[in-house]
Every structure is written in structure tokens, then in C-alpha cells.
């Protein structure tokens, strides 16, 4: 099927400096309707979930999708390590935003669910930009419903487990989505694997519940002692122990606040961007990833745009890895899985 032609004026804007053109992810073609998904039949569709009414500390992640979309200072033409031109190998579109209305959590979550399902039901990889982490509940549920319950494992990068029963009485808080996913059966507990946990929350009783459900997690202490690549290798094996497909969820606060100050609940002592990007690449190269979200970017707390830049590159690593797998992995990334610190 032939894809629609891009008008010359739009093409000129897309090929010009980064500040030209519409506000789409990496200036990909913007579409809004299901019929356009069918006419473009893209490989990846990026969408926004601008919801942050479920935060418990600093708000502002509703502005994350717009900030992450525009955090490109140049066109992503060539991935130096993977030796691939991702946007030439794949068709990537921006599918706009789910209609998230302030104060309406059920309606907003349904809007996220519906929009993700429109993408995933067509075997297109949805990439969802949050929004607070509560949006992972409807997003991952939609993907699970499309691929089949029990077939989806999750690799979750975060400083926090997000498995509380409720937060201040709210069962749909950004601190509860992973518990809801497991309780609903959307994702098997034993195939829900977390990387980067640290700090002082959640309390012991929550970890007791996690153990009962079979969840696996890898604290920052383990990352420091074993190295990122080994931890990710173990996490992938755990997430794929049964399921056929992988959903990646990245809370940007998995990064140390020095690299990602623009987030709602910063926790010192986290990962550095180089290791996170390579970890995402490692997961995407070695598993069949069918969806990804990047959440909790609150640009108002980061005038230097460091947080949005890192979130943008998380998405670019996924896109590039998918492109590399399509043509056969080449370059330095094919030689091993060395992290930024040199550890394997």
C-alpha cells in the first residue's frame, strides 16, 4: 500500500532547522485520525498523554509531551553506534494527544486507553509520552488487551515501585498503577520487573505484597555492584519467562536529579543518562518490544531542558534499536553491551 505524499512546504519545514514546523516528535508527520493510521500504516506512532492530576508532589507533567516532542536540536539522521538511519528505516508518525481533561481521571484514563488501543490493535508500536505515571495503567492495559492477557511482560525503569494500594486515598495515583496492572491480570506479577529502585518509599508492607505477587526488582545497589548490562540481562530473562512480548515503562526519575531535575518526585542517587539509554537499547535489541512509555517529565522545573532532552533520547533509542533489528544490527552495539562506566 502506498503511503500519502508529504506536501512540498511541509517537507521543506521538516528538513530545515529544528525550530521550524509543527510540534510533533522529531518533526515526524502529524496525524490525528484512525483512518490516517490505516493510510500511513506506520511502524511506530508517538502520542501524548498529558495528564498529571494524579501526582502526589510536584505537578507539571501535563506539559511533558510538548516538551519532549520539541527537545531535538537536530534531525535524528544516523545513530552512530547502531549505524542506522532510524527515520529512513522506519515510518514514524506523531498521533497527537489523548484528550485528558483536568480533574477527570476516569475519562482521561479512558482516552489514553482508547488512543493506545487504536495504535496497538493495528500492530503498530505505540510510544506514549506522559503525563504522570498513572497513565501506564490504561496504556499497558490497552496493549495487553490487544496482544492477549499473559503474553506481555514489563521492564520498568523507576526510582519508585508505584505499587501502593492507594496514595492519600486515591487508587489511581501515580504511585499505584503497577499494582492495578497486576491485580487486573493485565500483566503477570512474576513478569513485572523493575530497575533502579532506591530511596525511602514504598514501605515494607508494599514490598511484602510485591513478593507475594512474584514481582522482581533490581535496586540501584545491585546496578552499582553488578553493572547495568548484567542487571538488564537478568531483568529481560525474568520479564520474558513466559510472556512473548515486552512493554518498556520509563519514569524519568530513574535518572539522578542532576540529570533530570524536571520531574515530580526526584530521588538522589539514580542512574546516569548514558547507562539508561544503553539499557533501553539492550532491552529493545534483545526482546520483541511492542510498546513504550516515558513519563513524569515536568518541564517547568527544568528551564535548561535537560530532562526533556533525556526523555527524548530514551524514545530515540527505542526507535533506533527497532530500526537496527529490521536491517540487522551493526556497529559498536553489536560487539557487546558495555555500559557508560565500562562495566559489562
Q: What is the pLDDT of residue 330?
A: 64
- pLDDT of 336 above 70: no
Q: Which residue has the higher pLDDT, 321 or 72?
A: 321
- The better pLDDT of the pair 339, 184 is held by 184
Q: Under 8 Å CB-to-CB from 110, ≥6 apart: which residues?
A: 138
Q: Which residue has the higher pLDDT, 33 or 338?
A: 33
Cβ-Cβ contacts under 8 Å for 4 (sequence gap 6 or more): 39, 40
Q: Is domain 8-334 annotated with CATH 3.40.50.720?
A: no
**pLDDT, tens only, 55-65:** 999 999 999 99
Selected residue with higher pLDDT from 295 and 337:
295
pLDDT reported for residue 319: 98
- With a cut of 50, say whether residue 339 has pLDDT above it: no
pLDDT > 90: percent of the chain? 84
Q: Where are the alpha helices (DSSP H) in the chain?
A: 8-14, 34-40, 64-69, 86-89, 105-120, 136-147, 177-184, 204-213, 220-226, 228-239, 273-286, 306-327
**What b/e readout covers 200-236, taking b as 16+ CB neighbours within 10 angstroms?**
eebeeebeebbeebebbbbebebbeeebbbbbbbbbb
CB 229 within 8 A of CB 282: yes
**Domain extent listing, the chain:** 8-334
- What span, in angstroms and rounded, lies between the C-alpha atoms of 303 and 299? 7
φ, ψ dihedrals at 275, nearest 5° = -70, -40
Amino acid at each position: 500500500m502506498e503511503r500519502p505524499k508529504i506536501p512540498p512546504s511541509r517537507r521543506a519545514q521538516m528538513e530545515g532547522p529544528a525550530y521550524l514546523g509543527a510540534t510533533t516528535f522529531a518533526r515526524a508527520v502529524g496525524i490525528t485520525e484512525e483512518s490516517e493510521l490505516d493510510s500511513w500504516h506506520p511502524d511506530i506512532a508517538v502520542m501524548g498523554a498529558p495528564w498529571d492530576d494524579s501526582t502526589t508532589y510536584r505537578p507539571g507533567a501535563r506539559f511533558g509531551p510538548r516538551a519532549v516532542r520539541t527537545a531535538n536540536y537536530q534531525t535524528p539522521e544516523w545513530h552512530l553506534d547502531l549505524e542506522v538511519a532510524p527515520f529512513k528505516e522506519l515510518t514514524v508518525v506523531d498521533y497527537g494527544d489523548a484528550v485528558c481533561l483536568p480533574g477527570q481521571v476516569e475519562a482521561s484514563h479512558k482516552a489514553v486507553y482508547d488512543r493506545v488501543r487504536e495504535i496497538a490493535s493495528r500492530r503498530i508500536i505505540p510510544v506514549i509520552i506522559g503525563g504522570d505515571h498513572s497513565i501506564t495503567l490504561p496504556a499497558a492495559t490497552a496493549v495487553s488487551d490487544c496482544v492477549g492477557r499473559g503474553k506481555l511482560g514489563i521492564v520498568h525503569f523507576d526510582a519508585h515501585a508505584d505499587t501502593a494500594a492507594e496514595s492519600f486515598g486515591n487508587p489511581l495515583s501515580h504511585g499505584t498503577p503497577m499494582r492495578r496492572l497486576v491485580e487486573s491480570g493485565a500483566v503477570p506479577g512474576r513478569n513485572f520487573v523493575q530497575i533502579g529502585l532506591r530511596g525511602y518509599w514504598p514501605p515494607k508492607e508494599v514490598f511484602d505484597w510485591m513478593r507475594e505477587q512474584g514481582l522482581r526488582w533490581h535496586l540501584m545497589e545491585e546496578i552499582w555492584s553488578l553493572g547495568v548490562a548484567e542487571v538488564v540481562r537478568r531483568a529481560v530473562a525474568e520479564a520474558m519467562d513466559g510472556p512473548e512480548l515486552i512493554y518498556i515503562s520509563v519514569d524519568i526519575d530513574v535518572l539522578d536529579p542532576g540529570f533530570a531535575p524536571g520531574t515530580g518526585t526526584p530521588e538522589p542517587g539514580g542512574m546516569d543518562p548514558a547507562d539508561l539509554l544503553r539499557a533501553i537499547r539492550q532491552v529493545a535489541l534483545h526482546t520483541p518490544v511492542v510498546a513504550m512509555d516515558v513519563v513524569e517529565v515536568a518541564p517547568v522545573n527544568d528551564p535548561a531542558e535537560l530532562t526533556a532532552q533525556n526523555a527524548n533520547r530514551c524514545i530515540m533509542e527505542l526507535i533506533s534499536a527497532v530500526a537496527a533489528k529490521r536491517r540487522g544490527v551493526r556497529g559498536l552495539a553489536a560487539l557487546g553491551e558495555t555500559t557508560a562506566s565500562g562495566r559489562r
